[in-house]
Structure 1
Amino acid sequence: MKSTSVAGKKFDHFKGLSMVLLGAVLWGVSGTAAQVLFQRDGFQSGWLVSVRMSIAGMLLLAGVSIKSGPMRTIAVWKDKRDALKLVLFGIIGLLGVQYSYFSSIRYGNAATGTMLQYMGPIFITGYLALRQRRLPSISQFAAVFLALAGALLLVTNGDFHSFSIAPLAFFWGLVSAITLAFYSLYPQVLLQKYDSATIVGWAMLIGGIGMSFITPPWRYTGHSSLGAWWLVSFVVLFGTLVAFYVYISSLKYITASEASLLSCGEPLSASIIAVAFLHVQMGLPAMIGGVCILVTVAILALNRPAERPVPITEKSSRR
């Protein structure tokens, strides 16, 4: 009986690791799909963000309503302060990180855009150090140094006199890292009171509606084809809804540190696909820079205190 229990725990752990890796890969592939839509088919990043967030938000909230009931889904709107926090999270957090991330891909490529976004933990570390009025640890200093060195190599490809990527790609990538830090830190109070799927679902819908005032979903520019609409469907369904679901579900079986480490599968998958299929040129210095940023994520994840898996209502997904 005991051996069966141990085997069951090992299987659950393996299942959790597989799920978070699948979610990370889907995010990475969706970034590459977005690059094709922007650079080959002429779609706008704002339009894709409004469609992606609106549809995924509605589907996610529908799932929560079916599972937990409509009253639980709208509970957050009964508290004015929580409702205001939710709106700010949706506009600044989710919409901010989505729009800046896709804009970085539009002006550059999925590989560098995703790598730059992974500098988010550095801004989180800096903010927490200032807020708690303490110096970062030696390992955190090492992580900051690696991240900055990695970003420098990534955007210059070793030639420090010029950029190897478009300045706008770097700018939006940096913005996506900052908004990712806000996205990770701001909703913690909400996530302690409400189900994470409910909060993220409403935030997606709010962000999608907000973006619709600028780029309405029914007005798009780009080459309309079966292949293009298949890519849009993939980004919305698999790159958003399925990726979020498997990631958040994995937190029932593994720790947040393990999830953070395996989420490095996102930039790796984006880089591999971009280089192999889209013929994105990445020199050795840029590749080393990307590795430095991934090592940064590993250092910061391993630097967390020991933890156990907790109910998914107490955690959120990175997207």
Structure 2
Amino acid sequence: MKFQRRIKGIMLVIIGAMLWGISGTVAQYLFQKKDFSPEWLVVIRLLISGLILLLYDFIKDKQNVWKIWSSKRDSLSLIFFSVLGMLGVQYTYFAAIKYGNAATATILQYLSPVIIACYLAIRRKKIPNSQEIIAVGLAMLGTFFIITKGNIHSISISKLALFWGISSAFAAAFYTLQPHSLLNKWGSTLVVGWGMLVGGVTFSFIHQPWNFTGQWSNTSIFGVIFVVLFGTLIAFYCYLESLKYIQPTETSVLSSVEPLSAAFLSVLWLHIPFGMPECLGTVCIIVTIIILSRVKNKKL
């Protein structure tokens, strides 16, 4: 029984990570083939996903979803998480895809564990251990291969793609660290549901949901549904469910399937060039994730 539960947890996190990776490639298709704007897809994704998650939380637990706003401290923390964390990571990631591709954007976003490790080392005034130093070195090497294709004299991706990709990593680090106390107190579905909805409402003042540009077709309709339903709600549900059966450190390692699936589908479907330097860079960053997960596991 224990073995079956573990297999179930592993399958859930792999499915969730693959859906995240695939949704990034689908978003690239919408941006680059159907002329959709990242702003519109972000605001629609956040508003719809946030509403559905809050409805799910209400039906499942029969609790008042407004209770999180009863505390002034929690309310402020939730607003920061919604705008800088949830909205920040969603927009920077989609912008990186718009100006680059899903594979590169996803891999660059996976530099966030390195940023977290560096931040914690500075905050704790503690020199990183040898494993953490190796992980940072591998991450830098991986980034070098991805953005230069091994040629130190040139950058193989656009400056905007690099800027938004690195910004996405910082936003993902904030998204991971900031809501810790909120998640422990209120639960993930309520916090993330409100984070998405508040982030979506906030971004609506910048880009209205009805302000649409792009080409509608059967494939683009399916693409939007996939990004919102499979790439957000189902992926999020699978990831959370996996935590019931395996350790969080294991889920972080297994979720490295996300950049692999994004890279594979980008090459296969959108014919994005992905040579040996990009493969080496991807391997370096995935090894970085594994090393940092092991370090975190030892500290727990």
User: Does 277-286 or 244-253 show the bigger shift?
Assistant: 277-286
Tell me what 2:109 maps to.
117
Distance 1:15 1:305 in 2: 21
Contact 2:249 2:297 in 1 (8 A): no
Report the alpha carbon displacement of residue 115 of structure 1 after superposing the two structures with TM. Answer: 0.2
Query: Which residue of 46, 52, 56 corresponds with 1:63?
Result: 56
Contact 1:264 1:294 in 2 (8 A): yes
Tell me what 2:222 maps to.
230
Tell me what 2:47 maps to.
54
Deviation string 1:91-148 (CA, Å, 9 cap, x unpaired) is 0001000000000000000000000000000110011001100011100000000000
Q: Which aligned runs of 4 or more in structure 1 are off by greater than 6 angstroms?
A: none
Contact 1:117 1:173 in 2 (8 A): yes
Distance 1:289 1:301 in 2: 19
Look up the equivalent residue of 2:177 and give its one-letter code. Answer: L
Report the alpha carbon displacement of residue 214 of structure 1 after superposing the two structures with TM. Answer: 1.4
Local SS of the residue matching 1:58: helix
Contact 2:138 2:285 in 1 (8 A): yes
Contact 1:255 1:307 in 2 (8 A): no
Paired residues, number: 300
Distance 1:160 1:270, change over 3 A: same
Tell me what 2:285 maps to.
293
Tell me what 1:77 maps to.
69
Q: Map 1:2-151 onto structure 2 (within 5 A).
A: 8-71=1-64, 73-151=65-143
Distance 2:50 2:122 in 1: 34
Contact 2:54 2:194 in 1 (8 A): yes
Task: Give the TM-score normalised by the residue count of structure 2.
Answer: 0.98
Distance 2:218 2:200 in 1: 24
Local SS of the residue matching 1:305: helix
Compute the RMSD of aligned alpha carbons: 1.1
For structure 1, the residue ranges without an aligned partner over 5 or more in a row are 1-7, 309-319
Local SS of the residue matching 1:121: helix
Report the alpha carbon displacement of residue 229 of structure 1 after superposing the two structures with TM. Answer: 1.1
Local SS of the residue matching 1:304: helix
Local SS of the residue matching 2:127: coil
Distance 2:96 2:253 in 1: 23
Local SS of the residue matching 2:48: helix
Report the alpha carbon displacement of residue 307 of structure 1 after superposing the two structures with TM. Answer: 8.9
Distance 1:204 1:78 in 2: 19
Distance 2:94 2:207 in 1: 14
Q: Map 1:212-251 onto structure 2 (within 5 A).
A: 212-251=204-243
Report the alpha carbon displacement of residue 306 of structure 1 after superposing the two structures with TM. Answer: 5.0
